[in-house]
Amino acid sequence: MDDAEKILTETAKLCRLGFLWKGIGSRRAACGFSPEHTLHCCRFCREVKKSGTRLERCIRNDNQLLPEKIGTGRTPFLHRCHAGVSEIVIPLFNGKQEHEVVLLGVFREEDTHCPYRGLEALYRRLPQRKDCAVSAAMEIFPPLCRILLERRELRNLRDLGNRISDSRIRQSVMYLERCMGNPVSAERAAAEVFLSKSRFLHLFKAETGCSWQEYLLRKRMEKAAELLRDTDLSISAVMEKCGMRDQSHFGMMFRRCKGYSPLVYRKKFRTKRNA
């Protein structure tokens, strides 16, 4: 994630904001970035967390309050924590229930005060909202973070294929690539490598770390995203090439994995081509 970290650091500087990329809720915080861009490390936040009670409130903020505020929402929002500082929260979804977020900040709102005695002087040194490009950041960062998340997902899928040691599971992955445009079942994939369905599913999970259905969905959604970005195919044609026939189900799964409907995704990320 070194390149992603550099891109986000320089972009955040333009908005006079810092950034963090971290897991929240039941997910571990680390997502491949340095501690500087995973944990709140500014001097004010370090002082806040020196108190055990206040540290517990910070943990509750990440593990409970932010997931509750995000819910199923996909749009960035402003969040003020127990210490009186604000951040832009950009929810990121990768098709699972666990959430990652990009946090841009921290800054203080005009005419606000720190609720903790002895920290007001440090609080006053934080940038004020009017000095930060908050509105610009809320426009720029969501699509940028989505692109970086997709790059990570593609890299992880490639690495996953390289880590498979069982030749039968490697063969089933190759079978999936060949038959992406057709309905693909676990029974058929198992038969291709002369395994029972139950044995195949067990081996696939052991080799890849994810279920057959999860892997199949991820591959189909990455293929759909590529076609939406790089071709003029209709949505129905994209569906067919990814082996999906139900438009409402396709739209729901794509939105769950990519954060946008197929049509909105195409408008936001379409590759510009010369006429």
Q: Hey, what amino acid is at 186?
A: A
**Placement of tokens 């003020």 in the chain:** 80
For the chain, which residues make up each domain, given as ranges?
A: 2-149, 154-269
H-type helices in 106-211, by residue range? Answer: 120-125, 134-163, 167-178, 186-192, 197-208
Whether residue 193 has a cis bond before it, omega within 30° of 0: no
Task: Count Cβ neighbours within 10 Å for each residue of 7-19 and write b for 16 or more, e otherwise.
Answer: ebeebbeebebbb
Residue 275 pLDDT? 36
Residue 124 pLDDT? 94
Q: Tell me, rounded to whole angstroms, the distance of Cα 231 from its chain centroid.
A: 24
State the DSSP code for 36: G
Determine the Cα–Cα distance for residues 77 and 134; give it in Å rounded to an integer.
Answer: 10
Determine the Cα–Cα distance for residues 186 and 172; give it in Å rounded to an integer.
Answer: 10
Quote the pTM value: 0.69
Three-state SS for 235? helix
Residue 208 pLDDT? 84
> What is the pairing mode between strands 86-92 and 77-80?
antiparallel
Determine the Cα–Cα distance for residues 24 and 104; give it in Å rounded to an integer.
Answer: 15
Q: Which residue positions in the chain have pLDDT lower than 50?
A: 273-275
Domain 154-269 has CATH 1.10.10.60: yes
State the DSSP code for 128: B
With CA atoms as reference, report the closest residue to 247 among 262, 233, 257, 227.
Answer: 262
Q: Hey, what amino acid is at 127?
A: P
State the DSSP code for 274: -
Report pLDDT digits (tens) over 31-59. Answer: 888 889 998 989 999 999 999 999 999 99
Residue 98 pLDDT? 53
Determine the Cα–Cα distance for residues 191 and 115; give it in Å rounded to an integer.
Answer: 64
Which strands form 77-80's sheet, in the order they lie side by side?
A: 18-24, 99-107, 86-92, 77-80
- Tell me the β-bridge partners of 88: 78, 104
Q: Which residues make Cβ contacts (< 8 Å) with residue 116, sequence separation at least 6?
A: 48, 51, 54, 83
Do residues 59 and 29 make contact, with C-beta atoms less than 8 angstroms apart? no
Report pLDDT digits (tens) over 234-272. Answer: 999 999 889 888 899 999 989 888 878 899 989 888 875
Determine the Cα–Cα distance for residues 69 and 90; give it in Å rounded to an integer.
Answer: 11
